Amino acid sequence: MSELHSYVKKMKYLVIHHNQTTTLYSSLREIARDIQVDASTISKNLKNNDSCYCCSKNTNLLSYIRKI
């Protein structure tokens, strides 16, 4: 198995940040740390949907999160 295949297999979330850059994440905790939104809030928003928008109360920046 190639390194790229292993990497992609571990990634579970795609985040499009306020500045239109994208990042892949393997956990909600990583996302929470980067966008400054509590992991439980993200989890609740993704519970019934494959995607959501989250806005940080600290920075007031919007991020789009999608399960992959």
Q: Is the model's pLDDT at 1 over the cut of 70? A: no
11-44: pLDDT as tens digits: 999 999 999 999 999 999 999 999 999 999 999 9
53: closest CA among 11, 17, 12? 17
Contact 19, 29 (CB under 8 A): no
Rounded Cα gap, residues 55 and 58, in angstroms: 9
pLDDT at res. 29: 97
Contact 68, 16 (CB under 8 A): no
Q: Is the model's pLDDT at 64 over the cut of 90? A: yes
3's CB contacts (< 8 A; 6+ apart) are none
